[in-house]
Amino acid sequence: MSQPHLPRRLAGGIRRWAAAVAGALALTAGLLAAGPPASAANLTQVSGFGTNPGNLSMYAYMPDALPAGAPLVLALHGCTQSASDFHAHSGWSTFADRYGFTVVYPQTSGANNANSCFNWFEAGDSARGRGEALSIKQMVDKAVAQYGSDPGRVYITGLSAGGGMTANMLAAYPDVFAGGSIASGLPARCAETLTAAYTCMYSPPDRTPAHWGDLVRSAAPAGTTSWPRVAIWQGTADTTVRPANATELRDQWTNVWGIGQTPSDTRNLTGGTTVTTYDDASGRPAVEVYSVSGMAHGLAVDPGSGAEQCGTAGTYYLDTICSGYHTVRFWDLDGDGGENPGTLPAPTGLTVTATTDTTVALAWETVAGATSYTVHRNGTEVGTTSSSHYTDTGLATGTTYSYTVAAADSAGTVGAASPAVTATTTGLTPTCHTASNYDHTTAGRAYASGGLTFAKGSGQAMGLWNTFTIHTLQQTAPGHYVIADEGCPA
């Protein structure tokens, strides 16, 4: 976590602040540990991924011959790091090659933040439809369009400031991400000012689970009922982001899932790591907390060629345990069916037979030997049925969802999942809103960038960001607004 990009009038205070925390965070080039230099040989910079209001860069790693419909992982670096540095040290490319998925590395710079940190504590950069958060969402859209990534299997992970931004992205875009992994990070919306950021890092507030959960629910689209599965990684000797943050993160996401804070399971792993699991109502892990004994601030890696090893040691890449391997397993990216996949084949012929404003009906071919079928929406199990059809209910209007189906045998062992299909619910009542540019942005209908205002979704220019310029915006789709000053049909 390092110096944010703030107005010039605070420049003197920023310089004093930067000097004070530079030693505490040890984020200087001279402290880099020995190891192979970062290489971007396997990375490709991607341009033209949207309006990019957060002024970020997009880099992608796509294994050779990766088929369409593969998962997508976004990996956010920490302060003073870069996309190539994170790619070289974190080990994510190892699992992208092994299990078949694309990795996108968003990259910030000194133009946004003096120490190249993601601005996780700035509301203008971490809220839905605004700044850096919107740029990251636009990278998802670009990857889905360019690489054919499965929109229902999109995941996000981040270290330190990248971990704080990851938590905010999971809160703001639960309809985009099926899962997340927060390494040495902060609870979603823990801070929206520089002073509060310090408090969160060094002395995290002990809020109730309901309070933390409400912060997520208020950041998400209204009516959200499906939430991403969240892994939390934390070292017990971290003096930069205190270990209590992992407890607050656990409280936050278990509350969002409505499953309480009593572990369903606790077990020991290598590297002095203890993992506590919190299952959802169906018995599937929804939240996992990985506590690495004696580990300082950084990302847990385990250099080597073993199946459970990954990464390269260096500054803030700490040789303890391969967090990437266990995160991939938690997300079920290591193969359909998780740790004990069944032998039943994937159902064929999965189709969308009907949609309404709030429902999606599915049908598929029966599988010999199957006694039931599990249905997943956006990577999360939403139901089981003994028949070859299912209707998903309680959905948001005008929203696209991704579905897969897997067959289970008489012992309840689930086999391979079907290829994904997408369905879009019908209905959306257009609405009109007349307000100042400032009020539009605070309401989430527009975003500000460089002192100017732009309509959310359409990106239409609205002029200066102030309380004097008035526009009428019409919502034409979820999260999409257009200027309607000449008359709003709604």
**Residues forming the active site:** 160
**What number of other Cβ atoms are within 10 A of residue 13's Cβ?**
11
Strand order in the sheet with 351-355: 351-355, 360-363, 389-392
Contact 454, 51 (CB under 8 A): yes
Token pair 């408090």 in the structure block, residue: 199
- How would you class 72 by CB atoms within 10 Å of its CB: exposed for 0-12, middle for 13-18, buried for 19 or more? buried
Cα–Cα distances (Å) from 421 to 156, 358, 486, in that order, read 22, 17, 39
In degrees and rounded to multiples of 5, residue 310 shows phi and psi of -170, 165
Give SS3 for 109: coil
| Listed residue (356, 355, 352) closest to 364, CA to CA | 352
Residue 124 neighbours by CB under 8 Å, 6+ apart: 130, 131, 447, 448
What is the pairing mode between strands 372-377 and 380-385?
antiparallel
Q: Which two tokens stand for residue 143?
A: 């990857």
| Listed residue (54, 46, 65, 52) closest to 113, CA to CA | 54
E strand or H helix at 464, and its extent?
Answer: strand 461-464
Residue 131 φ/ψ region, left for φ over 0, alpha for ψ in the -120 to 50 degree band, beta for the rest: left
Q: Which two tokens stand for residue 258?
A: 């409505």
